[in-house]
Structure formats: structure tokens, C-alpha cells
Amino acid sequence: MNSPGAAPWCPDLSGRIGPLYRMIAAALHDDIIAGRLPPGTRLPTHRDLAWKLKVTVGTITRAYVEAERQGLIGGEVGRGTFVRDPSRLPELPAEPRPGDNLVDLSVNSTAIWQDMPDLRAAMEAVSRDDGLTMMMGYTPSSGVDRICRAGAAWIESCSGLAVPVDRIVPAPGGQGAMHAAFAAATRPGDAVLVEPLTYPGVRPLAAQMGLRLLPVAMDGDGLIPEALEREATLHGARTLYCMPTLQNPTTITMPLERRQAIVAVARRVGLTIIEDDVYGFLDESTPPPLAALAPDVTVYITGLSKSLFPGLRAGYVVPPAALLARVVTAVRATVMTGSHLGAVVATELIESGAASRIARRRRAIVAERQQMARRCLGDLLTASNPACTHLWLTLPEHWRREALVRELLARAVKITPADGFAVGRGEIPQAVRICICSVERLETLSTALHVLADLLQEPAMADLALV
């Protein structure tokens, strides 16, 4: 035990992980709480401890600042830094606890806060509608026709895809649309080709349906046609699931030539394409969907969770004529129909023009937040598409994704490592996804991004404790 006065305290860092300053602060915390450093003990100067530990003075300063933040030590100008009495401290957490004030940037939700007046107006209009009773029954015959006409208009306005109204099948959200498309296009045991990093909702779907997901290599323009042809032939796969526009998570949008090449391969090897376009509305300058290039082999799906509201559980499937009956059967066998109420409110929003207004506001919010993120994270976002509701951030050389996610969580900010999207056993890039529309206040997002930017500047010291 050290007696009060000048103390030759030296932290034991063995077995600790994380940035060095936090390992030192944690060792200090443990020694104080365990009584090894009694109240009043004078700690070594920043310079002495830095010399002893062979680290920079700045690291010791940060460690002491962290311990001071926790109320464990205090400085007196000219006299030094002293241990406080831990029994007289309020209960302070050693670090922010995930769960309390957690800034969750891991969910790709959408910025709905400003759109409530439009939603309320649509719901009121629907509740006054003479057709409400009819629409709330099992078979809202003319209602379904209206839902499909609005769906066709919406899809055309977002993607340019002209869709025959009788080809639209309403589904419960994007996930419901995916389920119906997969059920129609595959058989249990099938191999389904996917991007190597893909929307995680496809994994439980495949597991439940007894499908094998096989990754196809991508480059900066999306799926590589030669790789697609090779994998399809090798595994006898008959289905491809992909996101040509603002791919989740990489944000890549396939240019037109790449789309044409993918469609050509699909025709050559007999693939049905399931094209997921839930983010298409965010970028008005994207090339035509695969379904416009090859409507006979493409099941187009979209949902209104990102463009309107997740709670509507509204989406659409547009299958080729040959798969229409199977898609209808799949919806009927699982959920009977999509949510009429959600679909009718969505229809009202589309018909009244409110949906276009909302989509414009969403694009403006994304643009504002993307600019903010770029000011904060700079070059690390060069490969991340600025039209997207999330960032795809490639880590600087000295960071590993697990360490970054863990360290950030300790600072009460949650993001997703590339692992969350990976299919197969290929190499996973050192990258993370950060959703920028999941928190309402811009200041909250700004603070979280600055915490991230600061952390990225630090050396990742996790390995120092390893020998």
C-alpha cells in the first residue's frame, strides 16, 4: 500500500485492453477502489509516469483527465494530483453505460420526425373515406386495385420503372416482399447468390426456407459479372438476390453498363434476379432498375419503410408474369394479405402528393447529415455514396473493426461492423456501417461522429497488453 505523500505508483496494465490512456485510468480506478491507493495519495507527475511507462506525456494527461472525470482524483495547482476518497463520491460509472444515453447508429431507420403532420392528415382522410369499411374486410376488391395503382405510380416516380398495375402484389413491408419473392423464385435446398456483404434480413429468411446463400465477389461497381457467371455455373444456382442501388451496407450503386452485364449473365445461365430497391428513392439520378432491363427474369421488390414509415408495413412485389401466381400464393399462404390499413394510408399519401414531399424531405435530411459526416470524417468516406441513409466507413490502417465497435460502445455510441452483413467465409473488410438518420437531433449525431473521429485518430492500443 502507498502511504499519503509522494507515491511511486505504477499501474499494472497486464490483461487490460483498449487505448492506453484508458488502461491506465482503469488501473488507477481499480487501485483506488481496492484501497491500494488511499485517499490523499499523491500521484506521480505526468512526466515521471510517462517516462516510467515509456509513453507520451499526453497519454498520462488523458488518463488523469479520465480519472478526474470519474471523480477519483483531483489536482491542486503547484502541489500535484491526489487521490480522492472514493467512499465520498457519488456513484459514477467508470464509463458511459451502453443502454443509458446510448446513441444507436446501428439501425437503418429513417428520419420520420418532421413528417407526422402529413401522416396524421392521411390517416384522417382515410378514416373519413366511404370505402374504409370495405377496405377493412378480407377482400377489399376495389381497394386493392387502388392500392396497386398507387404502388405503380410510386414505383415509377422513384425508379422510372413502368409497371403494369395487374403485376403489383402488395406485401407487408420490404421484408414481407422479400419473403414472397424468395418463396416464389426458389425451392428448399436451392443455392441463392448474394452480395458478399448483404442486408442481414436475408439470412433468417434463407435459414427458414432451407436455402444456401453463396457470396459473389463485388468491386467498386457492384457484383462482378464474371464472378456471378462462375458461381452460378459452379453451384447450379438459379436465383440472385441483390441491391443494385445504394447497396446495403456498401452504398455502391451499379452503373448502367454493369447492370447490363449482370442481366446478360442472368439470361445466359438462367438466373432469376430478386432486385431489392428499398433505397432507390434516395437517388434520383440512378440508372434504370434491372427490372426495366430484364422484366422477364427479374422480381422487383420495394418497401415504404425508408421512403415513408416503417410502421405502415407496406411494400410491393413486381414479379415477371411467369411468377405472378406463385408470389400471390406466397403472400396468401403466410400473411393472407399485406396490411390493408398500412397500404391504404400509404395510398392516400401517394395520391395526395404528400409521399413525394416526404421523400424530398428525406433526401434533404440525408444530404445535410452526409455533409456533416464528411466534415467530421473526411477522406474515410470517399467510397461511401453521399445519397445514402448510412455511411460505409473504411477504417484507417491501425484500427480493427471489432476493437473500434467495442471502444465506441464504451463511449455509448453503437455502430455495426462489416461482420454483421457478411455471407460465406471470405475476407471481411475493415469497415463499419454508421446509420445517420436513426437519431432525431442533429447535435446528437454530430457529437457521436466527433467521438468516432477522435477515436479514429487515436492509436488502437489493444495489442499493447499482448506479449
Ligand X SMILES: Cc1ncc(COP(=O)(O)O)c(C=O)c1O
The contact set with ligand X (CB under 6 A) reads 108, 173-175, 178, 199, 201, 243, 248, 276, 278, 303, 305, 310, 315
CB of 87 to ligand X, least distance (A): 49
Residue nearest to ligand X (CB): 174
Three-state secondary structure call for residue 465:
helix
Sort strands 169-171 and 315-318 into parallel, antiparallel or unpaired: antiparallel
Nearer to ligand X, 24 or 205 (CB): 205
CB of 278 to ligand X, least distance (A): 5
Nearer to ligand X, 37 or 387 (CB): 387
Of the candidates 81, 94, 103, 98, which has an alpha carbon nearest to the alpha carbon of residue 23?
A: 94
Of the candidates 8, 19, 93, which has an alpha carbon nearest to the alpha carbon of residue 406?
A: 19
Q: Is the dihedral of CA 266, 295, 190, 427 positive or negative?
A: positive
Beta bridge partners of 223: 218
Beta bridge partners of 76: 80
Nearer to ligand X, 22 or 340 (CB): 340
CB of 384 to ligand X, least distance (A): 16
CB of 337 to ligand X, least distance (A): 16
Dihedral, CA atoms, 318, 321, 326, 330, nearest 10 degrees?
10
Nearer to ligand X, 31 or 276 (CB): 276
- Helices 116-128, 340-352: axis angle to 10 degrees equals 110
CB of 391 to ligand X, least distance (A): 15
Nearer to ligand X, 80 or 204 (CB): 204
CB of 159 to ligand X, least distance (A): 14
d(CA 370, CA 176): 29
Output the DSSP codes for 397-435.
TT--HHHHHHHHHHTTEE-EEGGGGB-SSSPPPSEEEEE
Nearer to ligand X, 59 or 389 (CB): 389
